[in-house]
Structure 1
Amino acid sequence: MSDSSLRQNIISLREERGWSQVELARKTGMDNTALNRIEKGTRKVSSAELESFATAFDVSTDFLLGNSNKEHYYELTDKEKQDIGVQAEKLMEGIESGNNLNFYGEPATEEQKNRLLIAVKTAMEMNKKEAKRKFTPKKYRY
């Protein structure tokens, strides 16, 4: 960990959110003078303060420290997003054909198939309602 990268990340995140040093100090329960010294690089950050910064900014400590480019541990990678897209396409093909509906390599149970159909139907209903709200001419709205 580089102290300068931590310091720079704190400054950048604070400025991105439009917070003053006083606001960030209040959010972290820290003295404004201490925060000022941290940002100037004349004071180190304790582990408790690091946690407070992570909580205030809603990011991971690894992100603050510069050890990760993901703000949250649970963010999906591009590969995970691509894999989910492929899986979703296969699921929809399975629903349409009624064959080869699998979840992570295992054949879907009837209960899983029913849940999936309910979810798809619900999503389609929501989309239809939204389309009707957007595209129904005013004279046909009641």
Structure 2
Amino acid sequence: MSIHFINRLKSIMSERKITQSELSKRTGIRQSSISDWLNGRYEPKQDKIYLIAQALGVSPSWLLGYDETTSNQTEGYYVDPETAEFAEYLRTRPEARLLFSASRGISKEDMEKAVEYIELLKLKQNK
């Protein structure tokens, strides 16, 4: 497990005065899993990292050690305003949040194509 994740998770929990038990309640993740991650025994999967980040009000990429700030907003992240607006729309869709959480260089058109493709795959799977 990345030491960045462990350190940042401990730090933000301390800063926000959130216990493992409280984080467990906010995320629906077992407290024992949170303890295992904090102690470096196991690595959380991406969906769990996302839940933790949302519960703590930070970005998943910050939690993993990639960003300088704790912001979970897309404002200022994308150069093109139209792309930023579409990214915000995707960020609010549960099935698309993780997919575009770190896609800074992708165009709005490419994002739309990816979403269309995913929706097509979902339709195909439901047949």
**Could you tell me the TM-score, scaled by structure 2's length?**
0.55
Rg larger in structure: 1
Instruction: Quote the Cα distance in structure 2 between the aligned partners of 1:13 and 1:29.
Output: 18
The aligned residue for residue 38 of structure 1 is 37
SS at match of 1:69: coil
- How much has 1:71 moved relative to structure 2? 1.7
Instruction: Find the aligned partners of 2:7 and 2:75 in 1 and give their Cα distance.
Output: 22
The equivalent of 1:61 in structure 2 is: 60
Match of 1:49 in 2: 48
Matched, 1:29 2:28: yes
Aligned ranges 1:39-118 → 2 under 5 Å: 39-72=38-71, 73-74=73-74
User: What are the Cα deviations for residues 62-99 of structure 1, in whole angstroms up to 9, with x where unaligned?
Assistant: 1111111122244669xxxxxxxxxxxxxxxxxxxxxx
Gaps of 5+ in 1: 78-142
Alignment RMSD (CA, Å): 1.8
CA distance in 2, matches of 1:23, 1:35: 11
> 2 CA distance for matches of 1:26 and 1:38?
16
Q: Supply the distance in 1 between the matched residues of 2:28 and 2:50 (Cα, whole angstroms).
A: 11
**How far apart, in 2, do the equivalents of 1:70 and 1:16 lie?**
14
Measure the CA separation in 2 of the matches of 1:31 and 1:3. Answer: 20
| Higher percent of residues as helix | 1
Partner of 1:80: none
Q: Which residue of 1 aligns with 2:101?
A: none
Output the CA distance in 1 between the equivalents of 2:20 and 2:68: 24
Amino acid at match of 1:11: K
Paired AA for residue 64 in structure 1: L
- Alignment of 1:8 onto 2:7: yes
Q: Deviations along 1:92-122, whole A, 9 cap, x unmatched? A: xxxxxxxxxxxxxxxxxxxxxxxxxxxxxxx
Same amino acid, percent of matched pairs: 22
Tell me the amino acid that sits aligned with residue 7 of structure 2: Q
Whichever residue aligns with residue 20 of structure 1, its letter is T
How many Å separate the matches in 1 of 2:44 and 2:2? Answer: 8
User: Which secondary structure does the structure 2 equivalent of 1:35 belong to?
Assistant: helix
